Amino acid sequence: MARMAGTAARAETLLGIGVVSTTPVAGGDICTATRLRLTDGRGAIIKTRPQAPDGFFQREAEGLHWLGEAGGAKVPTVLAVADDCLVLDWIEPSKPTPEMAERFGRDLAATHRAGAPSFGAPLDGYIGRAPLPNRPLPTWPEFFASRRVMPYVRAAVDRGSLTPDEASTIEAVMRRIHDLAGPAEPPARIHGDLWSGNIVWGADGDVWIIDPAAHGGHRETDLAMLSLFGAPHLQRILESYEEAAPLAEGWRDRLPLHQLHPLLVHAVLFGGTYGARATAAAKQLLSGHTS
């Protein structure tokens, strides 16, 4: 197998162990991912990004540690982290099964149940390439409006992927956020970017979560992200989750509220129809709510 000398040397310096071979890993437009085979027989993956923003890989490593401490959904072990890269245990992927999905639903509920000190996180982070403000606020509606929606509304307008009229529609939802948010819940320990690309269905029978934007948030946010972009055996995941940790009445009606954030992030990063989709979600929320 081919050996990428520069990547191998970087990994060897960080790990203190030899690299036998390297293999490019497909997928991802933010980082370059390379599979490593180490001299002790282990597999690892190194993610690199030249001139990465300050704390980019550190926040990811901290998020994985924090989620792993919950003892719920599985996360890969962080082997090394530096300003320009992150090295993790390699998770051998396999085909998703209903049984794995059922177990993952229960494990995700356990992660959420571990809780968080506040709505937010000690340090700002990243979601994809986008900065992610995390400064805590006392309630989830305040946090969601101020840290998850309005910064991206402004950025999307500046980018031209959201019109001023569309922005006004989303702002109208934020003015009603306390009515739309449902019953108050304590901060949950959430992944924060839980789409299917950040789930690895492992050959060991476990389901692993990667690339977190971890923070104290609302547990419906992770479920909304899964529902927005789809996931294998999604219904089995949701049913198993709700058996383990029943959700407040009307949670499915609130999914468009939680989906505003990822849609706006995509509008900022990719443009296209994401601004219109965020506006449609806002209109759906407003049509179902009368003041």
- Look at the chain and count its residues: 291
The half-sphere exposure of 166 on its side-chain side, counting CA atoms within 13 A, is 24
Q: Which residue in 234, 233, 214, 216 sits closest to 224, CA to CA? A: 234
DSSP letters spanning 127-140: ETTEEE----BSSH
3-state secondary structure of 164: helix
Q: Is 193 a catalytic residue?
A: yes
CATH (residue range 5-89): 3.30.200.20
5 pLDDT tier (thresholds 50, 70, 90): confident
For the chain, percent of residues with pLDDT exceeding 90: 93
pLDDT at 213: 97
Q: What is the pLDDT of residue 113?
A: 98
Residue 172, C-beta contacts closer than 8 angstroms, at least 6 positions apart = 282, 286
Please report which confidence band the pLDDT of residue 274 belongs to, taking 50, 70 and 90 as the band edges: very high
Radius of gyration of the chain (CA): 20
As a whole number, the mean pLDDT across the chain is: 95
Q: Cα separation of 251 and 86, whole Å?
A: 36
pTM reported for the whole predicted model: 0.95
The yes-or-no verdict on residue 74 having pLDDT over 60 is: yes
Residue 176 has pLDDT above 70, yes or no: yes
Residue 28: the pLDDT is: 66
Find out whether 251 and 220 touch, Cβ atoms under 8 Å: yes
Distance separating alpha carbons of residues 134 and 119, to the nearest angstrom: 8
pLDDT at residue 286, rounded to an integer: 95
pLDDT at 257 > cutoff 90: yes
- For residues 82-103, average pLDDT: 97
- Asked if the 98-287 domain carries CATH number 3.40.50.300, the reply is no
The CA distance from 139 to 116, in Å, is 13
pLDDT digits (tens, 9 = 90+) for 190-225: 999 999 999 999 999 999 999 999 999 999 999 999
Q: Read off φ and ψ for residue 150, nearest 5 degrees.
A: -60, -40
Beta strands in 213-280 (DSSP E): 215-217
Residue 73's nearest CA partner among 214, 175, 179 is 214
Predicted pLDDT at 290: 41
Q: Are strands 85-89 and 78-82 parallel, antiparallel or unpaired?
A: antiparallel
Given the residues 54, 165, 193, 206, the one annotated as active site? 193
Segments making up each domain of the chain, as ranges:
5-89, 98-287
